[in-house]
Amino acid sequence: MQAAATSPLIDRLPVVRGSYKENAAMAPLTWFRVGGPADVLFVPRDADDLATFLAGCPADVPVLVVGVGSNLLVRDGGIAGVVIRLGSGFTAIEQVGDTQMRAGCAVPDVMLSKAALDAGLSGLEFYRGIPGALGGALRMNAGAYGRETKDVLVEAQAVTRAGDRVILSNADFGYSYRHSNVSDDLIFVSALFQAGPGERDEIEARMNDITSSREDSQPIKSRTGGSTFKNPGGTDPNGPKAWKLIDAAGCRGRVRGGAQVSEQHCNFLINTGNATATDLEGLGEEVRAQVKMTSGIDLQWEIKRVGREAGA
């Protein structure tokens, strides 16, 4: 007797109020503009819709959540299973009490800093210098200009793979440099941040300084993914910097296919127009090998690389 044909993935997924899309292009959703499609892309309507999906999604179906794609490299073979992208149902921002801000995890980091400015609250200016959304900032302890997410997070709300709602305190994250210890199965939906009173003019001046610094030092108008490698010295201002190691290794401007190490800031990889994900990841590995040979230091990827190799 012939076995029944396997049902398409989308037929195995629960009924939701949000949207499903099969064979969904991922390249337009990432800053690099490369990579293959997701088997299914799910955009939940709100946190309840997300919980419904996770509770009903078969346990053998891989699930991956992505943000605005600023720190993400999707490989050319695409992504198996379901990619979840939080949309407009996760973009609310509100002031809580006198000195706190609550924001949905699809809120771009820069918008949180702007909302704090509008409220006359200080301490969140550093988010002006971080490309990405708050969900990613929570998971990787994103930071810039002397501050990190761990310095301002009070608590975060998340949904488990089983569809349960949980609240995590700052301590629950086990934060270290560009890393948290929370389970990969948790999907963050909102977070509460601690700020402090400030003078609007001073807050705005600091944010303008951050903007100017980024424009002067980083290829922000290129197809890039932000900082490619973690600084081996972490947040130590006197520790080794990835860009200095890459420069000393002679990799500034190095090219592989359509990928290039930025001439402006050599800890940035650039899609010059026709790069593949294989070009970008391969160039990054070339840089790592060269730095290891010249300095003995193993650079660690900061960019998250996901999906299948081409042809896989």
Q: Which residues are catalytic?
A: 178, 227, 302
Q: Is 34 helix (H, G, I), strand (E, B) or coil?
A: coil
Task: Extract the tokens encoding 47.
Answer: 């946190």
| Interatomic CA distance for residues 230 and 24, integer angstroms | 30
| Interatomic CA distance for residues 32 and 266, integer angstroms | 16
CB 180 within 8 A of CB 140: yes
